[in-house]
Amino acid sequence: MNVKYAKMSKAVWFQYSDDRDRLQKLIKAIKSNTPVSLADGNDIEIANTQDNVNAVQKFIESESDSSVKTFELKLKNGKTVISNTIGKSPYFGGAGAGGGATGTTAQGECLQCIYCEAMLAEGTKPFAHFTPELLNDYYNASNMDLTFDKIMKVDSQWHESAYVTAKYLIDKKIINKTHAFHRGDKVMKSIYLAKNRSLKAAGMPPLNDDKWNPGDIWAVKKGFNPATILSKTDIMELNQQIKKYFVDKTMIGISLKQIDSLKDRAKHRVYNENGGEVEKMRFTTGEIKAQKSGRATYWSAKAVTLRYNTTTNADLRAGTGFGAPSFEIQGKGARGGKAGWGVIKYACEKYLNTRLRDAKLYKPDATKISRGDKRLVDDLWNKVQVIDRAFRPMNKVTQAEFYDGIGTPKVTPEFVHSLMLGTYVLHAFAKSSSQKRNEAISYIANHAASKVEISSIFIKVMKA
């Protein structure tokens, strides 16, 4: 009877990005004519062709495309196979057990937590000291999602690897007795939940957990609660927190590479040390009416312009009626990148001391302004004047042109909504200091130009 394996969904194919990268291992199997197993346990031989390699590469490029879920490969016997029927065999870091299993990787990660707890408490005594009975005493001190009995079913090599790794982490003073160790529990999940929420708030696409931080286990200071402390509004702020807590050893993501035996030595490397850092920009000016024709008024266009580094322009406008405005860098012949309203809101609050709401909540105000509501129209005019004074001689909006535009056919509620929100953002810049303006534009422009290192800092322990 064949051993069966868990099926490889798209999420499972993309689970790792380092030397465990399953799609890269698949390419190696194709090029080396190495058989792989289906979920039902039967081995298949994939044809060593460029078409098959290209199919895998195309799938890699589709990671953020939710409409692409599988890819097809041709076999040496002329048949084809769909990617989600391939099994998570030991070649891909899994193990078989009846109808499919998560494999020994999860068990080994949990075992690592137990060894860290035990060796910090008992000292780095010889390997034979850490019997199953003693390890059981430290199981409850660790925080994991597998039972002790299941963890202990791994073979002896995992114990040797966990011992060598724990000893190395202790000897190098990377972990200490103030830490609790987490694998798959609510504390570890709360770290990745903060990542998911911060990406969503910034209008950015989802990112696989391991692409962001491949920490197999997390060493977290006892009493520290990531769920209540980590930022859930922006990925850059979160990455800066992760780095701060990494450096002061409050919270450390640890990626594990299995070490073969007790005779081997370990080493480590720190990755993504610059996660969340940004290029410094200098805010130049803001424009609330077009400058090219010389005949434009405040109501000529529904966009405002932010200029930085002297010559770089970015428009702030909504792409659809009552949609959320985005910051779009203007380039020669092509757009230079976008940052969403979530990023803009966050920058205004963090750096410019202005709290803006979700764009859709301004729809009633925009409708009232288009109909001439005196209170709201006067408030908008006051903000225009602040911008005018701060960024002269670029604007020069007259009171007559402003008030005469209200009620004209062009000034619809949708038009007002886009221009009003752009004005609110420029007003936040206008009433802030030069330093704060530079910090805010740096934050937004780096997001728009994708110059932000999205992955966060972690340490990887491996065989020397």
Confidence at residue 197, expressed as pLDDT on a 0 to 100 scale: 92
**pLDDT value of residue 332:** 46
CA distances for 15 relative to 20, 71, 110, 255, 361, angstroms: 9, 16, 18, 13, 38
User: pLDDT tens digits, the chain, 464 residues: what are they?
Assistant: 235 678 888 888 987 766 668 899 899 889 988 788 888 877 788 999 999 999 999 999 998 888 999 999 999 999 999 999 998 876 787 655 433 333 478 899 999 999 999 999 999 988 888 888 899 999 988 899 899 988 887 777 889 899 999 999 999 999 999 999 999 999 999 999 999 998 888 766 677 787 789 899 999 999 999 999 999 988 888 999 999 999 999 999 999 988 888 889 999 999 888 765 668 899 999 998 766 555 678 998 899 999 999 889 999 999 888 999 999 988 643 345 788 888 899 889 989 999 999 999 999 999 999 999 999 999 999 999 999 999 875 568 889 989 999 989 999 999 999 999 999 999 999 999 999 999 999 988 887 876 666 789 999 999 88
pLDDT of amino acid 29: 87
How buried is residue 205: exposed, middle or buried, by Cβ count under 10 Å (0-12/13-18/19+)? exposed
HSE-CB for 383 with a 13 A CA cutoff = 21
pLDDT for the residue 98: 38
pLDDT of residue 106: 87
Per-residue pLDDT, 455: 81
Question: 286-302: string of b/e by CB count within 10 Å (b at 16+)?
Answer: bbbbbeeeeebebbebb
Alpha helices (H) in 75-215, listed in sequence order: 104-122, 132-139, 148-151, 156-171, 186-201, 209-212
How many other C-beta atoms are found inside a 10 Å radius of the C-beta of residue 46? 23
Q: What is the pLDDT of residue 245?
A: 97
The residue written with tokens 């040496």 in the block is 76
Sign of CA dihedral 152, 155, 160, 166: negative
What was the pLDDT predicted at 91? 75
Rounded-to-integer distance, Cα 440 and Cα 347, Å: 5
d(CA 29, CA 36): 8
Contact indicator for 234, 339 with CB cutoff of 8 Å:
no
In sequence order, what are the residues at sequence separation of 6 or more whose Cβ sits closer than 8 angstroms to the Cβ of residue 112? Answer: 161, 162, 165, 166, 181, 183, 216, 217, 256
Q: How many CB atoms lie within 10 A of CB 84?
A: 15
Q: What is residue 7's predicted lDDT score, i.e. its pLDDT?
A: 87
What ranges do the domains of the chain cover? 10-92, 104-276, 283-448
Give pLDDT, residue 97: 46
Question: How many whole angstroms separate alpha carbon 457 and alpha carbon 393?
Answer: 45
Listed residue (425, 453, 224, 244) closest to 317, CA to CA: 425
Phi and psi at residue 181, to the nearest 5°: -115, 135
* pLDDT at res. 296: 78
